[in-house]
Amino acid sequence: MTDLEKLLAIEEIRQLRPKYFRVIDAKEFDQLEELFTPDAWFDSQDAVKDPIKGQYPGFPIAPISRGREAVVQGIIDGLPPALQSCHMGHTGEIELLSDTTAKGIIPFSDRLLLPGVIATAGYGYYYDEYEKLDGKWRIKSATLKRKRVIFEDELGNGVAL
């Protein structure tokens, strides 16, 4: 790859997570499939777990989703209609491994609100692998790792578990 081709590949890859965040927050789930390879997998076992305080009360640990359809369905199941979410992705590290493979670490923060049930502010990283298929970069694998989750009331005030 030329330097220009590398920069273009990195930019195309870099756009995947922001689109993912926008799509899930808007619940435009019909757009999710195009972001993942057919054999994608997603490990979101830490999605509802704070590394310091442990598992969110009342939330099960999500299984690892394998295959694009299972990944998309797992995301949909994890974002019920009443849940309001706002995800902010930050500038990530992208490393091209070949002309058709890459990996990245994408920092993010999110706010989740299930009115009357739970409100959180969270921080962490997505550890992604990417593959170029049919001329388009897609997410091949994703592992979500939380660094911190702060439980809040609906006004944003921290609360003890």
User: For position 72, which CATH number holds?
Assistant: 3.10.450.50
Q: What is the pLDDT of residues 87-119, one digit of tens each?
A: 999 999 999 999 999 999 999 999 989 888 788
Q: Is residue 91 part of a domain?
A: yes
Which DSSP helix (H) or strand (E) runs through 18? helix 16-26
Confidence of residue 157 (pLDDT cuts 50, 70, 90): low
* Overall number of domains in the chain: 1
Pick 57 or 142 by higher pLDDT. 142
> What is the model's pLDDT at position 49?
75
22-27 long-range contacts, CB within 8 A, separation 24+? 24/75, 24/79, 24/85, 24/87, 25/85, 25/86, 25/87, 27/79, 27/81
- Give me the domain span that covers residue 77: 3-152
Q: Is residue 160 part of a domain?
A: no
Q: What is the pTM of this model?
A: 0.90
Q: Is residue 137 part of a domain?
A: yes
For CA atoms 137, 77, 152, 113, give the dihedral sign: positive
Q: Is residue 146 part of a domain?
A: yes
Q: Is residue 159 part of a domain?
A: no
3-state DSSP call for residue 45?
coil
Pick 154 or 84 by higher pLDDT. 84
Question: DSSP 3-state helix, strand, coil percentages of the chain (rounded to 5)?
Answer: 25, 45, 30
Cα Rg of the chain (Å, integer): 16
Q: What is the pLDDT of residues 122-150, one digit of tens each?
A: 999 999 999 999 999 999 999 999 998 88
Give, as one character, the DSSP assignment of residue 46. T
> Which two three-digit tokens encode residue 66?
């394998």
Q: Is residue 78 part of a domain?
A: yes
Q: Is residue 130 part of a domain?
A: yes
Q: Is residue 158 part of a domain?
A: no
